Amino acid sequence: MAVFGGRRREENPDLPPGQHLTDGFPVLSAGPTPQIETEDWAFVIRTETGVTHRWSWDELLALPSEDITVDIHCVTSWSKLGTGWRGVSLDTLFADVETSLEFVMVHSYGGYTTNLPLEEILDGKAWVAYEYDGDALDPEHGGPARLLVPHLYFWKSAKWVRGLVMQNDDEPGFWEENGYNLHGDPWREERYA
């Protein structure tokens, strides 16, 4: 029987335009996986006043954490629904940070960077995640800890995250300098510049 309207596309309403589902968990890294011992690990937020807020690994684990179940969307077109993470909300990390700047540059061990408006990582929209599916985050997926910003394309979720620097402007990070969109909303297909 002919099906009018052409091929049946995946009609899952949780799937942004141009995306398909994957059951696996692909690894996408622009370089080698850095090996970071947790005793050498730290996360910092630096503001325009020169103040640096710093958390050691033990200090991060001592903060209130959340279980997060979210869909993730890679710009190369795979999406994975219902992924489970544990981590610390950026709201918690920013609780004592005073800044009047509206942008952040995210920095990773290994040199990767990505830019974000501050409002895209506050109000329950982003985490520093250190567990995936109930286990310590695998190094190839960003362990010891990665940023998790699931409402934007997954390149914004910097693996091996080491800190955030407050910025005057929305300057491009690594992939943004190489043609990716500055913002990266999968529902608006903000893939490339």
Ligand X SMILES: Nc1nc2c(c(=O)[nH]1)N[C@H]1C(S)=C(S)[C@@H](COP(=O)(O)O)O[C@H]1N2
Where does this chain bind ligand X (CB under 6 A)?
A: 26-30, 74, 108, 110, 112, 141-142, 154-155, 157-160
Q: Which pair of tokens denotes residue 131?
A: 């567990």
Nearest to 73 by CA among 192, 163, 189, 193: 189
Q: Which pair of tokens denotes residue 73?
A: 């969307």
Selection from Mo ion, ligand X, none that 130 binds (CB < 5 to 8 A by kind) is none
Question: Given the complex with ligand X, which of 157 and 181 has the nearer CB atom?
Answer: 157
88: which strand partners?
128
Where residue 18 falls (left for φ over 0; alpha for ψ -120 to 50; beta otherwise) is: left
- We find the least distance from the C-beta atom of residue 109 to ligand X, in angstroms, to be 7
Question: Given the complex with Mo ion, which of 73 and 86 has the nearer CB atom?
Answer: 73
Question: Given the complex with ligand X, which of 70 and 99 has the nearer CB atom?
Answer: 70
- We find the least distance from the C-beta atom of residue 100 to Mo ion, in angstroms, to be 32
Selection from ligand X, Mo ion, none that 163 binds (CB < 5 to 8 A by kind) is none
Question: Given the complex with Mo ion, which of 130 and 155 has the nearer CB atom?
Answer: 155
Buried residues in 23-56 as b, exposed as e (16+ CB within 10 A): eeeeeeeeeebbebebeebbbebbbeeeeebebe
Question: Given the complex with ligand X, which of 41 and 155 has the nearer CB atom?
Answer: 155
Cα 121 to Cα 43: distance, rounded to the nearest angstrom: 16
Selection from Mo ion, ligand X, none that 141 binds (CB < 5 to 8 A by kind) is ligand X
Residue type for 177, please?
E
What residues line the site for Mo ion (CB under 5 A)?
28, 74-75, 155
Selection from ligand X, Mo ion, none that 30 binds (CB < 5 to 8 A by kind) is ligand X
| Cβ–Cβ under 8 Å, residues 104 and 115 | yes
- We find the least distance from the C-beta atom of residue 180 to Mo ion, in angstroms, to be 8
- We find the least distance from the C-beta atom of residue 124 to Mo ion, in angstroms, to be 23
Selection from ligand X, Mo ion, none that 99 binds (CB < 5 to 8 A by kind) is none
Q: Which pair of tokens denotes residue 45?
A: 């937020």
